Structure 1
Amino acid sequence: MELEEIIGTLAGIFTTGAAVPQIIKAWHTKKVNDVSPYMFFVLIMGVSLWTLYGILLEDVPIIITNGISTCLNATMFLLIVKYKRKAV
């Protein structure tokens, strides 16, 4: 594996996994009042476009990491919607 591939793979792993701790915390505590739904919406749009970009380039690592990021951030967005409704 070339250095560029290693760096790209690590970047994808770290950015994809960044949402996981927040999802776990929101899932367990059911508290999301301090989490911005707008930030997650914008993030979903960004990683969705990165996924599309990867598809257009036929770049599998970009497709996989950003596709997973889209799903994780959408999960967090749904948790925000669900738990903010209960808090109101």
Structure 2
Amino acid sequence: MEIIGLVAGFCTTASFVPQVVRTWRTRSVADISLRMYLLLCLGVSLWLVYGALVGSVAVLLANSVTLVLAASVLGMKLAFGRKKPAPPPRR
């Protein structure tokens, strides 16, 4: 059963890689939801605690990597999402 968990964890974790790569390359974060990634990082952190409490290698591995990837997107959202101040109007 642990193998099923490892494969499932790999699949769901790997699904974040294209978003991380695309966000890094384009620096475009306008369509990324800050609230969604905040909530996701919280939930994944709680899964890590759960995995530690029940001693599940699959839960720990998958959610450790997922947290790194999701936190990367969240960090890029915060860093790249800052808008530069508009220049003052010309007279």
TM-score band, normalised by shorter chain: 0.7 to 0.9
Q: Please, what is the CA RMSD of the aligned residues?
A: 1.4
The reply on whether 1:59 has 2:56 as its aligned counterpart is yes
Residue 2 of structure 2 contacts residue 58 of structure 2 at CA under 8 Å; is this kept in 1? no
Runs of 4+ in 1 over 2 A off after TM superposition: 4-7
- How do residues 68-79 of structure 1 correspond to structure 2 at under 5 angstroms? 68-79=65-76
Q: TM-score, normalised by structure 1?
A: 0.88
Higher helix share: 1
Q: 1:16 aligns with which of 9, 13, 16?
A: 13
Unpaired runs of 5+ residues, structure 2, are: 86-91
Q: How far has the Cα of 1:87 moved from its partner?
A: 5.9
Unpaired runs of 5+ residues, structure 1, are: none
Percent identity over the alignment is 38
Aligned length: 85
Deviations 1:35-74 (A, max 9, x none): 1011111111111101100101111121111111111100
Of structures 1 and 2, the larger Rg is shown by 2
Q: TM-score, normalised by structure 2?
A: 0.85
